[in-house]
């Protein structure tokens, strides 16, 4: 059982001992620190926070604890109930709220939950802001409201529909072409809120959805990370239904992956590549993804005359660089689409609408569309280190060993070779180094990862 406190929020497994797991006491303490921090940011009479959750079994309990803690601080709460991460992000500015809280542990198994925290723009907090909340939680320097000044909870179930309205109003979403294409799509909602939002979006687009695991029970029917090895049932359903494609999202609907009409994965890394190809064909400009994402986005961006740049890993870092470079679309290779025309957050709903617009206009099958993009293959491995080892020192040595190559060191060490790359980065929560590689064949990518595992072991004397 685990509790992880970091600058990006608090997450852990339900049950067990205080400060070792995500217990009610830990939940209240961290929610109180967040509410206190919000009140320190803006001097005003009334404060408002949007709170929503995915369909995890523990979600209702955790949400009630968070909401009533905020009420105890004198903060008014807009309860959007079962929702998605991007829906809450959209709701915060629409409500003119001071912040937002999403109760979700993203792709982690059902025993996990987490508090993801937003600012008044509906965007994730940066490192300094997250650190301040951690410090407040440890200090217990939190003062609650007197009885006449308690906050109130207002329920609003309309925000998934409002989010869909915002997506459909985007100029680049070609609703007519999608409707005319008469698509049939199998949706794997992993029994969470994607099973509510994605079929509703498809129906509004004139698409026929076939629902697979779309009951928001929180009992995930398979590992909820949308990877090929977890999606055998989706592959069978796509083929059986003779569907045009399959769609799968993670429990909080900020990651998106597609499956072609043959039941083969389009490639999670290529979700962003395809959406960017469509957007850049209409509105040329720059793009950003993180350092561990495929080179294919760079290739597509340059094809349309734009410039690509990689950020440190993490949505906050991607968004920061997107704003700096004034990009038209960006995101992460894990299926996270960030389209600033709508909001600065990973959003599977906008990704679905952009991808279907591209597919409808191209008049191609999904498998044919995939052949139009460069073929890169990735390998993701990790090496377990002995606790106490100087991980920064190990990475510094690797940097020195490859000083003659093109290096990026804003997040670990990334080494760019002519036809491949390797990214070495340490974990912030456990003694491991993650190794990401990409090459022009799977064998080459795996071999490159194994080579660097051996080199790291030699440097670390393990």
Kindly report the backbone phi and psi dihedral angles of residue 354, in degrees, each rounded to the nearest multiple of 5, phi listed first.
Answer: -70, -40
Give the C-alpha separation, 239 to 229, whole Å.
Answer: 17
pLDDT score of 306: 97
pLDDT score of 461: 85
- The answer to whether 139 and 256 are in contact (CB under 8 A) is no
* pLDDT tens series, the chain, 462 aa: 578 887 778 899 999 999 999 999 999 999 999 999 999 998 899 999 999 999 999 999 999 999 999 999 999 999 999 999 999 999 999 999 999 999 999 989 999 999 999 999 999 999 899 999 999 999 989 999 999 999 999 999 999 999 999 999 999 999 999 999 999 999 999 999 999 999 999 999 999 999 999 999 999 999 998 888 999 999 999 999 999 999 999 999 999 999 999 999 999 999 999 999 999 999 999 999 999 999 999 999 999 999 999 999 999 999 999 999 999 999 999 899 999 999 999 999 999 999 999 999 999 999 999 999 999 999 999 998 888 888 999 999 999 999 999 999 999 999 999 999 999 999 866 778 999 999 999 999 999 999 999 999 999 887
Using the 8-state DSSP alphabet, how is residue 18 labeled?
A: B
Closest CA to 66 of 81, 45, 87, 86: 81
Taking the CA atoms of residue 158, residue 130, residue 190 and residue 23 in that order, the dihedral angle to the nearest 10 degrees is -100
What is the C-alpha R_g of the chain? Answer: 22
Instruction: Give the active site residue among 8, 83, 106, 311.
Output: 106
Closest CA to 92 of 131, 58, 125: 125
Q: Identify the three-state secondary structure at position 428.
A: coil
Q: Report strand pairing: 377-384 vs 432-439.
A: antiparallel
Q: Which two tokens stand for residue 402?
A: 């490859």
pLDDT score of 42: 86
Give the C-alpha separation, 252 to 194, whole Å.
Answer: 7
Give the C-alpha separation, 194 to 174, whole Å.
Answer: 22
Name the burial class of residue 405, with classes exposed (0-12), middle (13-18) and buried (19+) by CB atoms within 10 angstroms of its CB: middle
pLDDT score of 303: 97
Q: Identify the three-state secondary structure at position 252.
A: coil
pLDDT score of 339: 98
Give the C-alpha separation, 444 to 141, whole Å.
Answer: 54
H helical segments located in 5-58: 24-41
Q: Which two tokens stand for residue 440?
A: 């022009």
pLDDT score of 462: 79
300-316 b/e with 16+ CB inside 10 Å = b?
A: bbeebebebbbbbbbbb
Give the C-alpha separation, 226 to 229, whole Å.
Answer: 9
> Where is 168: in which H helix or E strand?
helix 159-168
Give the C-alpha separation, 176 to 217, whole Å.
Answer: 34
Kindly report the backbone phi and psi dihedral angles of residue 447, in degrees, each rounded to the nearest multiple of 5, phi listed first.
Answer: -65, -40
Q: Identify the three-state secondary structure at position 73.
A: coil
Using the 8-state DSSP alphabet, how is residue 390 labeled?
A: -
pLDDT score of 387: 81
How many helices (H) and strands (E) are present in the chain, helices listed first?
A: 15, 20
pLDDT score of 9: 80
pLDDT score of 234: 98
pLDDT score of 179: 98
Residue ranges of E strands in 316-374 = 329-332, 336-338
- The answer to whether 29 and 37 are in contact (CB under 8 A) is no
Start-to-end Cα distance in the chain: 28
- The answer to whether 131 and 138 are in contact (CB under 8 A) is no
292 is catalytic: no
Give the C-alpha separation, 316 to 123, whole Å.
Answer: 8
pTM of the model: 0.95
Q: How confident is the prediction for the chain on average, in pLDDT?
A: 95
192 C-beta neighbours (distance < 10 Å), count: 31
């Amino acid at each position: 059982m685990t509790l992880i406190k970091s600058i990006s929020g608090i997450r852990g497994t339900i049950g067990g001992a205080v400060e070792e797991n995500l217990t009610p006491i830990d939940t209240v303490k961290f929610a109180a620190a967040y509410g206190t921090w919000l009140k320190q940011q803006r001097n005003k009479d009334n404060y408002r926070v949007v709170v929503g959750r995915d369909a995890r079994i523990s979600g209702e309990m955790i949400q009630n604890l968070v909401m009533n803690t905020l009420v105890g601080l004198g903060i008014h709460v807009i309860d959007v109930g079962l929702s998605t991460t991007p829906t809450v992000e959209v709701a915060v500015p629409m409500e003119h709220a001071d912040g937002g809280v999403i109760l979700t542990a993203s792709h982690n198994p059902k025993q996990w939950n987490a508090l993801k925290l937003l600012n008044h723009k509906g965007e994730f907090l940066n490192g300094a802001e997250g650190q301040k909340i951690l410090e407040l939680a440890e200090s217990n320097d939190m003062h609650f409201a007197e009885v006449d000044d308690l906050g109130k909870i207002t329920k609003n179930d309309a925000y998934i529909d409002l989010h869909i309205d915002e997506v459909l109003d985007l100029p680049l979403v070609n609703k007519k072409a999608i409707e005319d294409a008469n698509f049939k799509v199998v949706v794997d909602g992993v029994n969470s809120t994607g099973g509510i939002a994605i079929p509703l979006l498809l129906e509004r687009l004139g698409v026929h959805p076939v629902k697979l695991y779309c009951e928001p029970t929180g009992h995930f029917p398979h590992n909820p990370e949308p990877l090929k090895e977890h999606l055998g049932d989706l592959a069978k359903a796509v083929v059986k239904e003779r569907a045009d494609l399959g769609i799968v999202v993670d429990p909080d609907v900020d990651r998106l992956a597609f499956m072609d009409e043959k039941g083969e994965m389009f490639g999670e890394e290529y979700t962003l590549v395809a959406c960017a190809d469509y957007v850049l064909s209409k509105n040329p400009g720059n793009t950003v993804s993180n350092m561990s994402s495929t080179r294919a986005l760079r290739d597509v961006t340059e094809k349309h005359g734009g410039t690509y740049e990689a950020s440190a890993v993490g949505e906050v870092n991607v968004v920061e660089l997107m704003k700096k470079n004034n990009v038209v679309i960006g995101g992460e290779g894990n299926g996270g689409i960030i389209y600033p025309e709508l909001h600065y957050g990973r959003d599977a709903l906008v990704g679905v609408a952009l991808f279907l617009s591209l597919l409808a206009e191209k008049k191609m099958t999904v498998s044919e569309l995939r052949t139009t993009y460069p073929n890169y293959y990735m390998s993701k491995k990790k090496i377990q280190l002995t606790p106490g080892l100087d991980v920064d020192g190990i990475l510094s040595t690797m940097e020195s060993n490859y000083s003659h190559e093109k290096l990026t060191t804003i997040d670990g060490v990334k080494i760019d070779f002519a036809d491949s790359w390797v990214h070495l980065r340490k974990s912030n929560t456990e003694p491991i180094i993650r190794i990401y590689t990409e090459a022009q064949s799977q064998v080459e990518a795996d071999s490159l990862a194994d080579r660097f595992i051996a080199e790291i072991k030699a440097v670390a004397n393990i």
